[in-house]
């Protein structure tokens, strides 16, 4: 049986929800495609420090609200508001005299909207915690360590980046990579394409999501990101520091960096040694291999981020099962 890593949490949802493991002769392995799950615990602690300030409203996406930091989660603080996107945060800032800080997380998919807001912002009471990560850099870092036969790659990220960056990654590991949409038929077709490549002894990038993804990607979005941000080294939760896998605001826009604006500092902390979210997101383990899974760690009382996010492998396995 061939092993395929689905590198996107939304793909994991579809595979489990529609029982694709039971109808395809494939072993699916979850990858690092959940941005909430790999957000550095120090960034969460920084957000919590800001949320303690009665003069600050901290905005965040729903999936991040209950992700544990070193001691607490944002759900423990009343100055936190859940928003759907950064534009909602901006509207809150327009209607209050308080400082509004948006916890900016997510991969390449969400970064263009953050960039647009920062470029056009005229408000003095709005800033962000710049915690966005570059999926492709994290993926490249993990690839040589992943024991699978092929990869189903994320559609939404690829709509921004294009398929071109994957060509380098295929050369790195000599394994098929197929960019897919998120419907069951998309994943079935993607798995079949990988099987055909393996059978024919070839490895290349193919796109089964042509309505949204081309080779060059969204150049307008890419240029906007490059105008506002520059790469920096970043820690991925449970995985470690990855060179140039994060983004920081360029000097011209540093006034919108809440960490600098409010001089936030956090201590170095250790992860819960019993949580194996990092191994799960690296393709080295599955939720059922974790001794906390379902027993101590569950959606009501999550220990690790993979149990909180709707794109987390543990949350999905708890909801739908792993078979």
Q: Give the separation between CA 24 and CA 195, rounded to whole angstroms.
A: 11
Q: What local confidence, expressed as pLDDT, does residue 323 receive?
A: 54
Question: CA–CA separation, 34 vs 106, rounded Å?
Answer: 8
Contacts of 7 (CB under 8 A, 6+ apart): 31, 32, 33, 135, 139, 151, 152, 153, 154
Q: Are residues 312 and 241 in the same domain?
A: no
Residue 241 forms beta bridges with which residues? 235
Q: Are residues 310 and 185 in the same domain?
A: no
Q: Per-residue pLDDT for 92 more than 90?
A: yes
Instruction: Tell me: do 96 and 239 sit in the same domain.
Output: yes
pLDDT at 322 over 80: no
The CATH number given to whatever domain includes residue 87 is: 3.40.50.11740
User: Strand order of the sheet with strand 80-82?
Assistant: 80-82, 56-60, 99-104, 126-130
Distance CA 268, CA 314 (A): 26
Nearest alpha carbon to residue 65 among 49, 52, 83, 50 = 83
- Judge whether residue 55 has pLDDT over 90: yes
Domain coverage including residue 53: 1-270
CA 38/CA 17 separation, integer angstroms: 23
Average pLDDT over residues 58-85: 95
Q: Does 294 lie in the same domain as 253?
A: no
Mean local confidence (pLDDT), 30-46: 95
Domain shared by 97 and 246, yes or no: yes
The verdict on 192 and 312 lying in the same domain is no
Residue 218 sits in the same domain as residue 314: no
Q: Do 201 and 292 have their domain in common?
A: no
Share of the chain above pLDDT 70, in %: 100
**What's the number of domains the chain is made of?**
2
Give the global pTM. Answer: 0.95
pLDDT mean across residues, the chain: 96
* Per-residue pLDDT, 271: 80
Instruction: Please give the Cα distance from 40 to 102 (Å, whole number).
Output: 16
């Amino acid at each position: 049986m061939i092993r395929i890593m689905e590198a996107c949490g939304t793909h994991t949802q579809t595979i489990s929800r529609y029982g694709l493991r039971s109808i395809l002769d494939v072993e699916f392995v979850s990858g690092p495609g959940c941005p909430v799950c790999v957000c550095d615990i120090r960034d969460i602690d920084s957000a919590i420090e800001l949320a303690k300030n009665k003069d600050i409203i901290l905005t965040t996406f729903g999936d991040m609200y209950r992700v544990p930091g070193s001691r607490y989660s944002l759900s423990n603080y009343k100055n936190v508001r859940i928003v759907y996107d950064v534009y909602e945060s901006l509207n809150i800032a327009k209607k209050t005299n308080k400082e509004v800080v948006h916890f900016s997380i997510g991969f390449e998919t969400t970064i263009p909207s953050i960039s647009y807001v920062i470029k056009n912002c005229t408000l003095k009471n709005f800033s962000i915690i710049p915690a966005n990560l570059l999926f492709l850099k994290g993926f490249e870092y993990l690839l040589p360590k992943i024991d699978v036969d092929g990869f189903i790659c994320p559609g939404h990220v690829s709509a921004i980046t294009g398929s071109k960056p994957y060509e380098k990654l295929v050369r790195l590991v000599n394994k098929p990579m197929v960019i897919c949409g998120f419907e069951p038929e998309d994943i079935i077709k993607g798995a079949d394409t990988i099987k055909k490549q393996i059978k024919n002894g070839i490895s290349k990038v193919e796109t089964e999501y042509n309505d949204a993804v081309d080779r060059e990607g969204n150049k307008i979005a890419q240029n906007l990101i490059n105008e506002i941000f520059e790469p920096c080294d970043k820690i991925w939760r449970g995985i470690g520091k990855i060179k140039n896998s994060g983004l920081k605001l360029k000097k011209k826009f540093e006034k919108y960096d809440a960490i600098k604006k409010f001089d936030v500092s956090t201590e170095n902390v250790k992860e819960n040694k019993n949580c194996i979210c990092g191994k799960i997101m690296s393709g080295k383990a599955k939720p059922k291999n974790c001794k906390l899974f379902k027993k101590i760690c569950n959606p009501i009382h999550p220990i690790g981020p993979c149990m909180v996010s709707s794109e987390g492998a543990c949350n999905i396995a708890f909801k739908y099962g792993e078979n």
